[in-house]
Amino acid sequence: MRTSSLRLQLLAWVVLPLAGLATINLWTSQRNALATADLVTDRMLVGSARAIAEQVAMADGVLDATIPPAAIEMFDTGDRDSVYYRVETAGGRLLTGYPDLPVAPGDKSIEAAYRDHPLRLATLGHAVVGAGADSPVMVTVGVTLAGHDAMVKRLWFSAFVQQLALVAIAGVFVLLGLRRGLAPLISLRDAVRSPSRSDLDPVDVPGAQSEIRPLIDALNAYMERVRAQMGAQRRFIANAAHQLRTPLALLSTQASYALRETATEARQEALVALQASSGKLARLAEQLLTLSRAEPGSRRPRADRIDLTEAARHVLETQAPAAIARKIDLGLEEAGPVAVIGDGTMLREMIVNLVDNALRYSTSGGSVTVRLATIDGEAVLTVADDGPGIPPEERDHVFERFYRVAGSTEEGSGLGLAIVREVVENAGGRVTLGDSAAGGLVVEVRLPLA
Amino acid sequence: MRLLLVEDNRELADWLGKTLRQANYVVDIVHDGEDVEHALAAGDHALVILDLALPRMGGLEVLRMLRARGNRVPVIVLTANASLDGRVKGLNEGADDYLAKPFQIEELEARIRVQLRRANDRTAPVVACGDLVFDTNTRLFSLGGEALALTPREHAVLEQLMIKAGRTVSKAALSAAIYDFENDADPSAIEIYVHRVRKKLEGSRVQITTLRGLGYLLRQDDLAP
């Protein structure tokens, strides 16, 4: 994985283009410096040539060219430049100077090599009064390039330093700005990582920018969700522990009673009750487990193809002995397979809870009917009993975990309908309560058909 | 010794009742907080075992109401909520002791004994009158070092007289101590139980004296050899 640093990225994005611009700028400024140096040198060359030319005069009918010292000394800039000159007549007769010095054509100055030195030289034509065919005299002055180059260097170097300083200062400001800009992120990191944070309290980062604010808000919202889920989990565990305490106390009391009882019959009775209690406790544990499995995210959602009729038949067969023992008429009404998609184990557990509830609240001699049908393209499972039913004002609450209908004497766990609802909703269905024809409760479960 | 058990889980209430009766306590059971005051008024119980999670009127509320009316009956609170906060709250409301579910019956019984001892200003677990000894731990009588076999009713009568030894116990008080709500009090039957106990105490240095119109009195027989 390539780790990328925001600092390096931003630095690269700011400083590299800036450095590029600075390079272009340096290149142009070098050209400018060169042009400036050329111009200055050319003016000096022309000035020097003019000074020499003005000293050329007719003396005693002969053209005399005397070189004024100022014309040479003007090039003495401390760069040890050599100055060459050549004065000749229009006819090409050399009056003074270096005969092999090249001549610049026209008015333009040129660069040429002379005695293995690069030179810049200019030629000036000057009319001399009375010189006849010798006029105008041509004065050529050349100078080596040390002074010229030193000038270019000086002009260019200051520009170079300026550009470099600009880039460096820009880089420093980018880093400073980043440090300031990233400070809220750093403090967010520290706040999240802080060992003193035991709870998932919302993080507050004072001074966070509007760009970072959404990140903090999202993080806080996420933590809030996690916290809510953990809270629900914690409440559930506390409730579950609470629910287990009374049955455990019962179990221990029954065991103590049986241990102390000497009469065989009473002892037998206690042991039978003890067995029943441990069965109920096992059922409660099973329900708690089912509920924790039905919890979103606790189990990979399964999409089995389940025949509800077959599942219901299986559940009823298992529950039949309990129904017979209580003289309850337990029946199944079906018209062939009803296939749905869902978690098979959970759907079966849902039916177990519905039937178990119906049997629990039915009076001895009553009846419990499980019906399966396909209505309006939905699988419909109803479980009807002729027990006391649930008052309408309680119906919203009975699906809550551990909720028990007030005044109910039956020892339910308050989990059955909670399990039913969670399983049905996980399978994309819904569950409703109604009154049965016999005045008891009807639970109707609708699930999408497979 | 008559106890009132207030517990809404019927199965647990039934089996706790049975187990306590096994130990020769007379036990009344109510399942609802609202019935507690009435039951106490009718039964003159020596101690209340009170579950906190009750329908209609919660255990803490019952406790507050009892104490507000000046009822000082010892109360042992039973609860499924074992948190420190819950315990402190219960004790602050006037509970004498606190027991978290699930508990061992032995511990509940030991705490009952402590409360009863305290209520009767006793520190020793053994009560003696002449050569009759009652061990409140085992809840058994012995006479001259030998275990004394008694039916539950006889036990209740003798226990009541023993605890108040040397003082008069009215017929009504005896009746309240031995009958629970399931069995209608029958004052004439008291005489039969007293008679049977008397027979079992024959030849010992204690005797039950009848004070007509007042009741009964258990005392050491100074004239016996």
What digits encode the pLDDT tens for the residues B1-23? 889 999 988 889 999 999 999 88
Angle, alpha carbons A312-A344-A411 (nearest 5°): 60
For chain A, how many structural domains are there in total? 3
Phi, psi of A243 (to 5 degrees): -65, -25
Q: Name the architecture of domain B126-220.
A: Orthogonal Bundle (1.10)
Is there a contact between A302 and A272 (Cβ–Cβ < 8 Å)? no
Q: Is the CB of A259 inside 8 Å of chain B's CB atoms? A: no
- pLDDT greater at residue A419 or residue A411: A419
User: Strand pairing partners for B28?
Assistant: B4
Q: Is the CB of B123 inside 8 Å of chain A's CB atoms? A: no
Q: Is the CB of B12 inside 8 Å of chain A's CB atoms? A: yes
Do A104 and A13 lie in one domain? The reply is: yes
Contact B102 A256 (CB under 8 A): no
pLDDT tens track for A81-132: 889 998 988 888 888 888 888 888 877 888 888 888 898 989 888 888 877 7
Do A150 and A13 lie in one domain? The reply is: yes
Do A277 and A310 lie in one domain? The reply is: no
Q: Is the CB of B85 inside 8 Å of chain A's CB atoms? A: no
Do A274 and A343 lie in one domain? The reply is: no
pLDDT at site A299: 60
- pLDDT greater at residue B54 or residue A354: A354
Give whole-number Cα distances, A88 to A49, A93, A125, A183, in Å. Answer: 12, 5, 10, 78
Is there a contact between B25 and B3 (Cβ–Cβ < 8 Å)? yes
pLDDT at site B16: 94
Q: Is the CB of B102 inside 8 Å of chain A's CB atoms? A: yes
- Cβ-based burial of A166 (10 A; exposed 0-12, middle 13-18, buried ≥19): middle
Q: Which two tokens stand for residue B225?
A: 């050899």
pLDDT at site B110: 92
Percent of chain B with pLDDT over 70: 97
Q: Is the CB of A235 inside 8 Å of chain B's CB atoms? A: no
Residue range of the domain that includes A350: 301-448
Which chain B residues contact residue A261 at CB under 8 A?
22
pLDDT tens track for A217-251: 898 888 888 888 888 788 778 778 877 888 899 99
Do A402 and A439 lie in one domain? The reply is: yes
Picking from B10, B18, B80, the nearest residue to A242 by CB comes out as B80
Which chain B residues contact residue A246 at CB under 8 A?
9, 12, 80, 101-102
Q: Is B78 left (phi over 0), alpha (psi -120 to 50) or beta?
A: beta
Query: What is the rounded CA–CA span in Å between residue A213 and residue A204?
Result: 10
Do A366 and A415 lie in one domain? The reply is: yes
Residue A268 amino acid letter? Q
Q: Is the CB of A268 inside 8 Å of chain B's CB atoms? A: no
| pLDDT surpasses 90 at A268 | yes
pLDDT level of residue B175 (50, 70, 90 thresholds): confident
Phi, psi of A112 (to 5 degrees): -145, 165
- The CATH homologous superfamily of the domain defined by B2-119: Response regulator (3.40.50.2300)
Do A394 and A428 lie in one domain? The reply is: yes
Q: Which residues contact A121 (CB under 8 A, 6 or more apart)?
A: A45, A84, A101, A102, A103, A104, A109, A110, A111, A112, A114, A140, A141, A142, A143
In 3D space, the residue among B9, B83, B85 whose CA is nearest the CA of residue B49 turns out to be B9
Picking from B12, B22, B106, the nearest residue to A246 by CB comes out as B12
Do A272 and A377 lie in one domain? The reply is: no
- The question of ipTM being above 0.85 is answered as no
Picking from B55, B101, B105, the nearest residue to A256 by CB comes out as B105
Do A286 and A363 lie in one domain? The reply is: no
Picking from B15, B55, B81, the nearest residue to A253 by CB comes out as B15
Touching B: A residues 393-422, CB under 8 Å: 406-407, 409, 411
Do A23 and A136 lie in one domain? The reply is: yes
In a domain, A181, yes or no: no
Q: Is the CB of B210 inside 8 Å of chain A's CB atoms? A: no
How big is chain A, counted in residues?
450
Is there a contact between B223 and B211 (Cβ–Cβ < 8 Å)? no
The domain boundary residue, chosen from A273, A292, A311: A292
Q: Give the number of other Cβ atoms within 10 Å of residue B98's Cβ.
A: 19
**Model pTM score:** 0.61
| pLDDT surpasses 90 at A322 | no
In a domain, A193, yes or no: no
Which chain A residues contact residue B105 at CB under 8 A?
252-253, 256-257
- pLDDT greater at residue B148 or residue A299: B148
pLDDT tens track for A417-435: 888 988 888 888 999 998 8
Picking from A257, A409, A411, the nearest residue to B15 by CB comes out as A257
Contact A257 B104 (CB under 8 A): no
Do A11 and A148 lie in one domain? The reply is: yes
Cα end-to-end span (Å), chain B: 32
In a domain, A161, yes or no: no
In a domain, A197, yes or no: no
Query: What is the rounded CA–CA span in Å between residue A330 and residue A346?
Result: 22
Residue for token pair 């030849």: B203
Residue A253 CA, chain-centre distance (Å), reads: 59
Do A323 and A417 lie in one domain? The reply is: yes
Q: Which two tokens stand for residue A72?
A: 């040479």
In a domain, A109, yes or no: yes
pLDDT at site A384: 92
| Sequence spans of domains, chain B | 2-119, 126-220
Q: Which two tokens stand for residue B213?
A: 């119109």
